[in-house]
Structure 1
Amino acid sequence: MDTLMMELLTRLAWTSVQSALLVALVWGVCRLLPRLPAATRCRLWWLVALQAVLGLVWSSPLELAVLPAPGIDNGTLLAQPMVQAPTTLAPMAIDTLTAAPTAASLSWQSVVFALWAAGVLLMVVHNLRAYRQSRALVRHAVPCTDAGLQQALQLAAEAHGLARAPQLKLSAQIRSPQLIGPWNPVLLLPARELPAMAADDLDMALTHELVHLQRRDLWFGLLPALAQHLLFFHPLLHVAVREYALAREEACDSAVVAGHGHCRHDYGRLLVQLGVAPRPAVGVASASPNFRSLKRRLLTLQQTGSFPRVASLAITALFVVIGVAPMRLVAAVPPPPPAPPVLAAPAAPAAPAVPAAPAVPAAVAAPAAPAAPRPVTAPRAPAPPAAPAPPPHPDSVSSSTSTSTTTITHGRLDLSHQPRQAFVLMGGGDNFVDASMADLKQAQRDVQGRDPALWVRVGNERYLVRDPALLKSLSQAQQQVARLGEQQGVLGDRMGALGEQQGELGERIAEVAMRASRDAMESMDAAEMANNAARTTKGDAALAERAAQRAKADAAAAVDHRRIAEISRQQAELARQQSGLAQQQSIASAQIARDVRKAFDKALADGTVQRLR
């Protein structure tokens, strides 16, 4: 009951907005084109009523992505569903997430629904009373015994393409001809005014009512009446119904004048003679319901210009295309996130050059040279930047079930808030959710491992859908989200492996830098000893060997730096690919969420929903 109530209120709100826009468009067209035929204006206002009724009964409205897309703030997509990492919650913490929605949120919805239902009921009671009065008027009328009048009516009905003429009766309670229907239509003539009416006037009055039958106005008029009942609170819809009834009378007036050769002056005089009379509840009358309507009908008779028929049909078709189908405004697809910048690996600083020991003449004993200053310890090569951690999947988390298998959960999983409505779509080892952690656990208990299934909660009511055809229609989109999640996982593993390689290379570069520092210190010590004593051939050989080792270590470090730069480039490319996958997954998740809601509405309408206790 809560689901149906919320769905009905939502449709009432959207339909009211669309009806207001359509009324404004039709009113603007009628004002801009004053020569638009009355029959075309009648169709346009009838389309407004059709849109109002379809908006309440159509379960799959058209979605227009015209609302602004969520922006990007500091490189983070604000519109993506927030999925928090799986966390082990204590039983007490899980129980607190199942708090029911506040009573206030339920009360105002119930009050609005009750007011709407009461208004519809009052409208129905009022119209039933008027209908009973119309039927009583027909019952108290007497059949017409004038054979000439009956024959004339039959000939006129055949001329208008009617299979049979309506039943003709006389009533002393009316002042103008009335057509009561739509079942078994009865044409009532005023018993008191009939003898005083001229033959031409009576012919025009009868023709006016027969044109109503030819146009099937009694049947088409039921739709505006239904729309007026359902949206009784909408003032613009009342305007549309009133304009429809007035344009319907003007269309019949134009048909009478154009088809029977009567002058407009005579027909205008007849309208004034018939005067103003209330319109029957389930019928039409030749008289106008008020003076404003009578004035507009007389002004319409003065228009002698024609309007292209093709233009009239084109305007009607345009409104059928753009205005009749129920529509919903949804957010546009968010823009793709910017690609992460590519950061080059920093180059390792060159090892400081070791000063060469001064040469000592062989023939002269070397004087005691001052002690060479001890060089500053060579700085350690900076550690390479840590591999960027792969971004978390924006729409997927892992959740362990009670068995040993692991189920991947995509969508919006909230740990600290329980939404008003929630659903969990289970199937194929993947879940798609828009719910809290408590809802997910409750869904697992209700489904009992017998997936696929669609679990839905609205307020405190829980529902379960196991229709195979409906779930199969959702499986393709669900599999697409799962594939995107798996691809993100593969990219994350590759980025992790590259990060490990980068760390190993950084350790090797650090070891090379430390070894170069030790070699430089040992070289300085050897140079100091050579200045105090005669340098021997053995000492020179040791210095040359250390220099060769340093050169070899520098070459290896350069290779490692190039490998780190290449790994950084690969990581940046993987990060860009993963960002694109995250964007695709966000779009796919939004689409499957809309499909799930539509499928649940269809299941409610088909009666394939199981209500859980």
Structure 2
Amino acid sequence: MDNMIAEMLARLGWTSVQSLLLVALVWAVCRALPALPAATRCRLWWLVAAQAVLGLVWSSPLELAVLPAPVVYGAPLALPAVQGALTLAPAALDAASPAAPPSALWSWPALLLAAWAAGVLLMLLHTLRQYRHSRALVRSAVDCTDATLQQALQLAAEAHGLRHAPRLKMSAQIHSPQLIGPWHPVLLLPARELPAMSADALDMALTHELVHLQRRDLWWGLLPALAQHLFFFHPLVHLAGREYSLAREEACDGAVVAGHGHCRHDYGRLLLQLGVAPRPALGVASASPNFRSLKRRLLSLQHTRRFPRVAALAITAVFVLVGVAPLRLVAAVPSPPPAPRAPVPPAPPAPPRASAVLPAPAAPAAPAAPAAPARAAEVAEVAEAADAADAAEPDAHEEHEEHEEHADSGDGMVTHGRLDLSRQPAQAFVLMGNGDNFVDASLADLKQARRDAGDGDPALWVRRGHQRYLIRDRAVLQQLSQAYAEVGVLGTRQGQIGERQGALGERIAAMSVDVTADVMASVDVAEIANRAAQQARQDARRAVDDREIARIARQQAELGKEQARLARLQAVASARAAREVRVAIDQALSSGKAQRMGD
């Protein structure tokens, strides 16, 4: 119940904001293009009402990834390491965010939703009262017995492509022609003002009402009325409804003037003669509801410049594509983690110069012995630089150690996604099964999810606030498993590349140690006569080792690029799968497929 309340309030909030932006955009277009046809303006304002209603009933809105991206842990977290963290975590972790009283959690959202429902109910009661008044007005009216008027109405209806003319009645309670009722329309004529109207004026008034019937305005007008009921608190939705009604009247006025033999001056005089009258409920009238509307209708008769039909259709299509569909702002695709740097290979020792090699009998060759300690010191400096580079990236090293621990333990469960170590998010989920866990939760949530799932079967654990749910529907779990399959494959490939990089690093280290041992061993050679041959062999071996180290370093660089590419793909796949999980959770909660867990 709490989730339904929160979801409804979220839809009301998001739709209200989107309606505000859409109204501003439609108003700007109508203001910038005064020659825009009234029929096009009518459609644009109707689209505002359509967007408002769709925002409440559409369960899967379009998501715009414009918010800041969350932190994504690209490398898989080993489940044994997570279990160790759970074991060592103090019990104060659950107490860090104490559960608030239930009343404090749902009282204000429930009150807001109750206030909204009460407002909608009051609007419905007001509309029902108006509807009863209009039906009473129709019942009190008398049928028209003028055969000439009936025949003229039938001929005009056939000219407008209507199969049946509306029922014609006379009423003494109205002052202008009115068309009432979308289901069984009835055309009411004013009994007192009818004798004073000329034949041409009556013809134009009847044509105006028949154009409404031809355009099906009584049916199309139900949606703006519904939007005004649902968003009674939103002044811009009411503004859109009023602008829609006014543009609808201007469109009918333009159709009458365009297809009638009389001039615009005569039709403007008719509008002044009809004056101002309240608009009927579930109906339309030839008269204007207020003086502002009357003034705008008279001014619209002066617009004779034609607007390109293609441009009007293009404007309407743009608003349909970008403004009607419900939108939500979500987090952007997280940036991939930085690729691990390849270990710095030790610099190859410089080969000795030819002058350093002395013939066997030469006694002054003894001072050349300190060259070996110098080479050893150079190799030691390179080793220290490599150690410093490893210390500068403790996170990548620790992740590699966790992955190795998982591979050695044989547990077979790997956790992917976002795992908060110290903060508990407002909403969380844990997808368990098929040897992988996919999470967007905290450590406490992961621990609670394993307790609630119990038997180890595939399940989707969800927390909304302080309410927990367990979803075991096979169709939902299979869909989500397919969505996360790519994430798991990419994580496994990154782990394999990490293992290969570690093996190559070990080879570089072993070869560096061998070179250093060879250099140090050269100090112990006593025979001056064999020193040149020994030195030559060592130089040749060092040259081979240096080439091998350079080749391995290039391999490590290529593996680093591949791992960076996989990290980017995994970030995109994780964000896409997380969105699918949120949609599946909303559908499961609304359809009753989620099992609510006890507190």
Q: TM-score range by the shorter chain?
A: 0.7 to 0.9
1:588: which partner in 2?
Answer: 573
- Cα 1:356/1:69, change in 2 over 3 Å: farther
Residue of 548, 568, 582 corresponding to 1:563: 548
Residue 378 of structure 1 aligns to a residue whose secondary structure is helix
Residue 429 of structure 2 aligns to a residue whose secondary structure is strand
Q: Which amino acid aligns with 2:155?
A: L
1:131: which partner in 2?
Answer: 131
The separation in 2 between residues aligned to 1:323 and 1:118, in whole angstroms, is 29
- Cα 1:512/1:53, change in 2 over 3 Å: same
1:346: which partner in 2?
Answer: 347
- Cα 1:373/1:244, change in 2 over 3 Å: closer
> Is 1:318 aligned to 2:318, yes or no?
yes
1:538: which partner in 2?
Answer: none
2:530: which partner in 1?
Answer: 545
State how many pairs are aligned: 573
The separation in 2 between residues aligned to 1:497 and 1:93, in whole angstroms, is 41
Alpha-carbon distance, 1:393 to partner: 6.3
RMSD, matched Cα: 3.5
Q: How does 1:474-489 map to 2 (within 5 A)?
A: 474-489=480-495
Which stretch of the first structure deviates more once superposed, 342-351 or 294-303? 342-351
Which stretch of the first structure deviates more once superposed, 423-432 or 468-477? 468-477
Residue 284 of structure 2 aligns to a residue whose secondary structure is strand
- Cα 1:374/1:577, change in 2 over 3 Å: closer
Alpha-carbon distance, 1:125 to partner: 3.0
Kept after mapping to 2: 8 A contact 1:345/1:565: no
Kept after mapping to 1: 8 A contact 2:372/2:522: no
1:176: which partner in 2?
Answer: 176
Residue of 443, 454, 458 corresponding to 2:460: 454
Alpha-carbon distance, 1:505 to partner: 2.1
Q: Which amino acid aligns with 1:233?
A: F
Q: Give the TM-score normalised by structure 1.
A: 0.83
Kept after mapping to 2: 8 A contact 1:98/1:438: no
Q: Which amino acid aligns with 2:593?
A: T
Q: Which amino acid aligns with 2:572?
A: I
Q: How does 1:63-462 map to 2 (within 5 A)?
A: 63-65=63-65, 67=66, 86=82, 87=85, 88-90=87-89, 92-93=91-92, 95-96=94-95, 99-100=98-99, 109-333=109-333, 343-348=344-349, 378-379=373-374, 380-381=376-377, 382-383=379-380, 384=383, 385-386=386-387, 388=390, 405-449=411-455, 451-462=457-468
Kept after mapping to 2: 8 A contact 1:453/1:464: yes
Alpha-carbon distance, 1:221 to partner: 0.4
- Cα 1:265/1:45, change in 2 over 3 Å: same
1:52: which partner in 2?
Answer: 52
Alpha-carbon distance, 1:82 to partner: 9.8
Kept after mapping to 2: 8 A contact 1:82/1:414: no
Bigger Cα Rg: 1
Any idea what the Cα deviations from partners look like across 1:420-462, whole Å, max 9, x if unmatched? 1111222311121111222223222333346433222111222
Alpha-carbon distance, 1:251 to partner: 1.1
- Cα 1:560/1:305, change in 2 over 3 Å: closer
The separation in 1 between residues aligned to 2:519 and 2:151, in whole angstroms, is 119
Any idea what the Cα deviations from partners look like across 1:296-351, whole Å, max 9, x if unmatched? 11111222333333332232223222322223344554566676666452233678
Q: What 5-or-longer segments of structure 1 have no aligned partner? A: 71-76, 361-368, 524-541
The separation in 2 between residues aligned to 1:593 and 1:586, in whole angstroms, is 11
Which stretch of the first structure deviates more once superposed, 340-349 or 350-359? 350-359
- Cα 1:293/1:83, change in 2 over 3 Å: farther
Residue 348 of structure 1 aligns to a residue whose secondary structure is coil
Calculate percent identity across the aligned residue pairs.
Answer: 64
- Cα 1:611/1:416, change in 2 over 3 Å: same
Alpha-carbon distance, 1:197 to partner: 2.5
The separation in 2 between residues aligned to 1:113 and 1:325, in whole angstroms, is 24
Residue 303 of structure 2 aligns to a residue whose secondary structure is coil
- Cα 1:16/1:399, change in 2 over 3 Å: farther
- Cα 1:170/1:451, change in 2 over 3 Å: farther
The separation in 1 between residues aligned to 2:494 and 2:469, in whole angstroms, is 33
The separation in 1 between residues aligned to 2:314 and 2:362, in whole angstroms, is 105
Which stretch of the first structure deviates more once superposed, 262-271 or 117-126? 117-126
Kept after mapping to 1: 8 A contact 2:274/2:286: yes
Q: How does 1:6-21 map to 2 (within 5 A)?
A: 6-21=6-21
The separation in 2 between residues aligned to 1:596 and 1:98, in whole angstroms, is 25
Residue 157 of structure 2 aligns to a residue whose secondary structure is helix
- Cα 1:206/1:415, change in 2 over 3 Å: same
- Cα 1:424/1:106, change in 2 over 3 Å: same
Any idea what the Cα deviations from partners look like across 1:214-244, whole Å, max 9, x if unmatched? 1111110011111122223333222211111
> Is 1:577 aligned to 2:572, yes or no?
no
The separation in 1 between residues aligned to 2:9 and 2:74, in whole angstroms, is 26
Residue of 484, 493, 496 corresponding to 2:499: 493
Q: Which amino acid aligns with 1:567?
A: I
Q: What 5-or-longer segments of structure 2 have no aligned partner? A: none
Question: Between Structure 1 and Structure 2, which shows a larger proportion of helix residues?
Answer: 2
Q: Which amino acid aligns with 1:288?
A: S
- Cα 1:399/1:153, change in 2 over 3 Å: farther
Q: Give the TM-score normalised by structure 2.
A: 0.85
1:41: which partner in 2?
Answer: 41
Which stretch of the first structure deviates more once superposed, 93-102 or 55-64? 93-102
Residue 168 of structure 1 aligns to a residue whose secondary structure is strand
Q: Which amino acid aligns with 1:418?
A: Q
